[in-house]
Structure 1
Amino acid sequence: MKPARTLVYCLLLVNGACAKGQSATTATPIHLPQKTTTMITASLKHPVVKQAIDALQAGDLKAWNALFSKGASLWDDGRKIDLGHFSQEALGHERFTAIDKVAREGLDIYGRFHSDRWGDFKTYFKFYIDDAGKIEKLEIGQASY
């Protein structure tokens, strides 16, 4: 294998196999989290929350945006951030890999999460729904449970 190809392939190997002396052709490739919705959202019973998580999982920006009220706010670890910018950046690049806990009548979601930018971590999504059935506030952040 040419050195450039070996380097690229080594970047895709689990546990730094090339650095441990294995050849690039015998090391095990990394299995990245797959985009999925069915197994993740089956436990979600609140219809708006389920639609939002389904849209997030599918990377469907149009469906995601349609669920929010005009002027909706987004809070990330207690800091207000721009919902539009977050949505544009996150959809298609961030998703739950498992839902571990659902609380507050289905409005609070806790689970394992994958971000192409930040890696894997535990997170929470807390939804607040207005009288019209739209999301008026979403709180997200890293969770420890």
Structure 2
Amino acid sequence: MTIQPAKLSDPAVRAFVTAVNAHDRDAFMSLLTDDATMSDDGSDRDLDEWIDREIFSSNGHLDVANESQGGRALVANYRNDTWGEMRTRWAFTVADDGRISRFETGQA
């Protein structure tokens, strides 16, 4: 069962998934705070380098299986041209202005 991005509960997370799946880097970057951080499998990564490699240069795509914590935690099948498809977890911290200040991902 997949949750359509438009039906995700949290507006920032909904926009994040939509931007990833549309391969819209400008929209994606506009969702992040200026000092946004991220981690992959528990290790902090360079945000710009990671999103280029794992999302935009490799055709990343999220199919959300479920959400929790008011829509700020997802389990999704994530696929890209580098790694194929894998079950992943995503957690988002959303700042007061509605933009994402941190996201954490990793294998679920």
TM over 0.5: yes
Q: Name the residue aligned to 1:136.
A: 101
Alignment partner for residue 88 of structure 1, among 52, 58, 69? 52
Unaligned runs of 5+ in 1: 1-38
1:1-145 alignment, distance < 5 Å: 40-89=4-53, 90-91=55-56, 93-96=59-62, 98-143=63-108
Q: Of the two structures, which has the highest relative contact order with CA contacts closer than 8 Å and spacing of 6 or more?
A: 2
Q: Secondary structure at the match of 2:4?
A: helix
Unaligned runs of 5+ in 2: none
How many residues of Structure 1 are paired with residues of Structure 2 in the alignment? 104
Offset, 1:43: 3.1
1:8-59 CA distance string (max 9 Å, x none) = xxxxxxxxxxxxxxxxxxxxxxxxxxxxxxx631330111100010000001
Q: Secondary structure at the match of 1:117?
A: coil
TM-score (ref. length: structure 1): 0.68
Distance in 2, matches of 1:135 and 1:87, equals: 14
TM-score (ref. length: structure 2): 0.89
Query: If each structure's strand is expressed as a fraction of its own residues, which one has the higher value?
Result: 2
RMSD: 1.3
Letter in 2 for 1:57: N
Q: Secondary structure at the match of 1:42?
A: helix
